[in-house]
Amino acid sequence: MKFFHLSDLHIGLKLINRDLREDQEYILKQIVDISIKEQPDAIIIAGDIYDKAVPSAEAVEVFDHFIAELSSSLPQTVIMMISGNHDSAPRVNCFRSILSKQNLYMVGLPPTMEDEYIEKVTLQDEYGNVNFYLLPFVKPSMVKMVIGTDENGNNFSYNDTIHRLIERENINENERNILVSHQFYLPAGKEAKDVERMDSEIRTVGNIDEVTADILEKFDYAALGHIHKPMKVGSEVYQYCGTPLACSVSEVGQQKGIIMVEIQEKDAKIRTTVLPLNPLRQVRVIKGTLEEILKQTCNDYVSVILTDKVDLDVIDIKDRIRIAFPNLLEIKRESIRKADYSKKPETVEELNPFELCCTFLSNLDDDEKEILRDVINTVMEVK
């Protein structure tokens, strides 16, 4: 069996100040053309179909045209997609039962009641069943009716939530099983700070959404979405495919593509191939003096960094750069003034939590200070 792994289309995205509709239509047409050539049995989109929970009419039109093209060109191909953290889960879930009869599975919601389970789509080839488990983006609060709460009545962490959701599934490990998921999975032994994230990604404070990737070991392949840079999660068969089109300047130089997955009998080596996608316009960073930069005129999306060591006495500098680069994103300037690091920093007295809070909350009376002490002590005991 052969299937395509895509994710993070982010239809409707604006790149700084540029509407990407033409670029997205171009890359989606490329995906259709490659699909016609390769004839996959299934196409997976692992979340973040749209860039916003309430997409514009134009974004919906782009997506509708893309799916219509795929369906008409590949009537036997099963299309499966899940909602991501940018999507509205109920909107993606709309008409779910009707669309599934047309070989189109749009799963927006995870199981939310005790008698519900992760949507499973089973396809067959000469080696038997291939089970696709479609798990949309999950927040712990969404599934507390399914997995319960901890001993204090609080929601479980993201990590515990995903583990409990998957562990309650009756997965036949004698068959081939594929997980489609949109979460932040961490390889064993790695910390969130070790994973390079793109500027276009939404990140949680303290990385509370991280999930240890050991739960993926139940599956023969994990088609993951959420991370915008192509990345393996500790194994060749657990992969983020990244975005099909650069969504931020931080993605400069990345080769975008479709992951084509070819799976044979159980326990046979799974073959993955990246089918490159070539954008209508590249995203580039051009750095140099004004004179050097103006010689590199192009139609790509460009972030300009000026390195002139003196203040430029040029009235029309912005206009000249915009003429050279019709799709200019931004103009930055390297700092002319250099910081002096020769001086030793002044020693700052380290304050304990109570002193620090008193400094921030000035003019506390004795009763308020006593309440503050009790709060801090309670927090420290919990820690």
pLDDT at residue number 317: 87
pLDDT at residue number 17: 84
**356-373 pLDDT, tens digit each:** 888 777 778 777 787 887
**215-237 pLDDT, tens digit each:** 999 999 999 999 999 999 988 99
| 338 confidence band (pLDDT: 50, 70, 90) | low
Give yes or no for residue 342 having a pLDDT over 70: no
What integer is the mean pLDDT of 185-202?
85
pLDDT at residue number 216: 96
Least confident of 52-66, 67-81, 328-342: 328-342
pLDDT at residue number 234: 86
Distance set, CA 191 to CA 184, 214, 234 (Å): 11, 14, 13
- C-alpha to C-alpha distance for 151 and 128, rounded to whole angstroms: 43
What integer is the mean pLDDT of 177-203?
89
What integer is the mean pLDDT of 180-193?
88
pLDDT at residue number 8: 97
Give yes or no for residue 318 having a pLDDT over 60: yes
**218 and 173 Cβ atoms separated by less than 8 Å:** yes
User: What residue ranges in the chain does DSSP mark as E strands?
Assistant: 2-6, 14-15, 18-19, 42-46, 78-82, 104-107, 119-125, 128-135, 176-182, 184-186, 210-212, 221-225, 231-235, 238-240, 257-262, 271-276, 283-288, 301-306, 328-333
What integer is the mean pLDDT of 266-295?
95
Q: What is the residue-averaged pLDDT of the chain?
A: 91
**66-90 pLDDT, tens digit each:** 999 999 999 999 999 999 999 999 9
Q: Pick the more confident residue, 186 or 338.
A: 186
What integer is the mean pLDDT of 161-188?
95
Give yes or no for residue 27 having a pLDDT over 80: yes
pLDDT at residue number 374: 73
- C-alpha to C-alpha distance for 287 and 305, rounded to whole angstroms: 5
pLDDT at residue number 245: 96
Q: Which of 221, 243, 220, 239 is nearest to 231 (CA)?
A: 239
| 5 confidence band (pLDDT: 50, 70, 90) | very high
pLDDT at residue number 335: 67
| 337 confidence band (pLDDT: 50, 70, 90) | low
Give yes or no for residue 380 having a pLDDT over 60: no
pLDDT at residue number 371: 81
Give yes or no for residue 345 having a pLDDT over 70: no
Give yes or no for residue 382 having a pLDDT over 90: no
pLDDT at residue number 365: 79
Give yes or no for residue 100 having a pLDDT over 80: yes
What single DSSP character describes residue 214?
G
Instruction: Tell me if residue 359 falls in helix, strand or coil.
Output: helix
The phi, psi pair for 219, rounded to 5°, reads -115, 150
Give yes or no for residue 341 having a pLDDT over 70: no
Least confident of 44-53, 244-253, 309-318, 341-350: 341-350
